[in-house]
Amino acid sequence: MVHLRIVVPAELAQEVLRVLCAAPAVTNVIHLAAAAHKPEGDLILCDIAREDASVVIGDLKDLRVPERGSIAVELIDSSISDVASAAEHAAPGLPSDAVVWEEVESRTSEQTELSFSFTAFMVAAMQIATVGIVLDQPILIVGAMVVGPEFGPLAAICVALVRRQRGLVRRSLLALAVGFPIGTVCALLTTLVMVAVGAFPDDYGTHQLTDFISRPDFLSFFVAVVAGVAGILSLTNAKSGALIGVLVSVTTIPAASNVGVAAAYGEWDTATGAAAQLGINLAGIVIAGVVTLSIQNHVFVKRRRRHLAEGA
């Protein structure tokens, strides 16, 4: 279930109540007249089956509620109520397959800012990957993948392309365009310093366990595509466990770090291969994400049109 907290002007409250009470998937509707301040208005609370949440919110947007008041969306972890169960049964589909688009857009928008913390996580992840590459330790590579925050902007690009939000695309591209080069340069500088003080070996050497980072092939693209699908599904269904699996399966952070490490050692073929690996993985994730979201959005659009055709 999804909980809505709606603030509307008094003259619009009855229209909102009519929409909410007419929807079979809505329950626990509460109206508190003149309870809201800044902005002044009525407070309306309700619960909606997750499957129909975006459909009903679409009706509220048609009434211009966000322009004249506000809509807050909260996810309900558990609801013990026969009435709520009836509302869920009234909404076609399964809650686990439902996409609350407002939630997805909000989550991805928060992860696209080019902030100090985002850049710091990028640098930290690539520092871990740097040590893992030099020492040929896959466990450190996995750790770097988990720390890396790059999937947030990548997912935001997919959402923005499907939902046609140019501003979100620009912010996401900026975060990636700045974060990856800074992390790569820091990996290069760290390698040079570590070699100078004797912490790293003087030559690049062989990397039997982590050589895949700089040797892209079809399987690299295949894994990126599958991971992109899984990542978007975990995002739209709020399954964080699956998202962690995505983070440790795509070598974006290690590949970017390997560019800097190989460049520091003068291994330009390896650096080129790592850059190609990075490009392949980024492209695979975005392509798969856009296709997955397009399918989900198509299902939502059909559902929304059917909802409107029924007289909503």
Question: Token pair of 134, please?
Answer: 């030099």
Q: What is the pLDDT of residue 311?
A: 61
- Confidence band of 84 (pLDDT split at 50, 70, 90): confident
Cα dist from 145 to 189, 284, 294, whole Å: 20, 16, 27
pLDDT tens-digit profile of 39-54?
A: 899 999 999 988 888 8
State the chain's mean pLDDT as an integer: 88
Indicate whether 149 pLDDT > 70: yes
Domain boundaries, the chain: 2-98, 105-299
- Does the domain made of 2-98 have the CATH classification 3.30.70? yes
Residue given tokens 């509302």 in the structure block: 87
Is pLDDT of 246 > 80? no
* pLDDT at residue 258 in the model: 95
Please tell me which residue, 142 or 92, carries the higher pLDDT value: 142
Cβ atoms of 272 and 213 within 8 Å: the answer is no
